[in-house]
Homo-oligomer: A and B are copies of this chain.
Amino acid sequence: MERIPILKMGPFLLVTIQIDLYDRLALNLEEDLVKMVEKTASKGVLIDISALSIVDSFMGRILGNIASMSRLLDAQTVVVGMQPAVAITLVELGLPLNGVYTALNMEKGMYLLKSMMDFNGTQQEDGDHSFD
């Protein structure tokens, strides 16, 4: 497989990672995702990793990269469905995924993104005079 599908759902994008990412696949995913965020003006990216029983340092770095890139394009990233064993491994590896939001499952992740959108919307209305 060369590309991981990115699904558009309303204002959000959804990615399910089911296999270990190798270099090429990870680079393609990063590229596809930023292009898609820009094209669809998405406000959030949901990454489901419930199928992964192992997350190594490479994968951890990719998740961090995706979150940082999306943030620059005004989209928040939420990683959902992490298995407890993965959380243990990540912390033991010294990769606590700083800067990446997490949620227990897809529905909770979507709720988190929606509340972030609402919060930002309210702030913009109250605060500066933006043109959108």
A contact residues vs B (CB 8 Å cutoff): 1, 3-5, 7-10, 14, 16, 18-19, 48, 50-51, 81, 105-107, 110
A18-B1, A18-B16 are contacts. A9–B50 as well, Cβ < 8 Å? no
> For residue A14, which residues in chain B have a CB less than 8 angstroms away from its CB?
14, 106
User: Is the Cβ of B1 less than 8 Å from the Cβ of A19?
Assistant: yes
The residue that A19 contacts in the complex, of B9, B18, B81, B107, with Cβ under 8 A, is B18
User: Is the Cβ of A5 less than 8 Å from the Cβ of B16?
Assistant: yes
User: Is the Cβ of B4 less than 8 Å from the Cβ of A107?
Assistant: no
Cα of A4 to Cα of B110 in the assembled complex, Å? 20
Each complex incorporates copies of this chain amounting to 2
User: Chain B: which residue is nearest A3 at the CB level?
Assistant: B51
- Give chain A's interface secondary structure class: loop
User: Is the Cβ of B106 less than 8 Å from the Cβ of A8?
Assistant: yes
User: Is the Cβ of A5 less than 8 Å from the Cβ of B107?
Assistant: no
User: Is the Cβ of B51 less than 8 Å from the Cβ of A9?
Assistant: no
Cα of A44 to Cα of B5 in the assembled complex, Å? 21
Q: Which of A14, A19, A105, A110 has the most CB of B within 10 A?
A: A14
The residue that A18 contacts in the complex, of B5, B9, B105, B106, with Cβ under 8 A, is B5
Q: A7-B50, A8-B107, A9-B9 are in contact. List 16 more A-B contacts (CB 8 A).
A: A1-B18, A1-B51, A5-B16, A5-B51, A5-B81, A7-B16, A7-B48, A7-B81, A7-B105, A8-B105, A8-B106, A14-B106, A16-B16, A16-B18, A18-B18, A18-B19
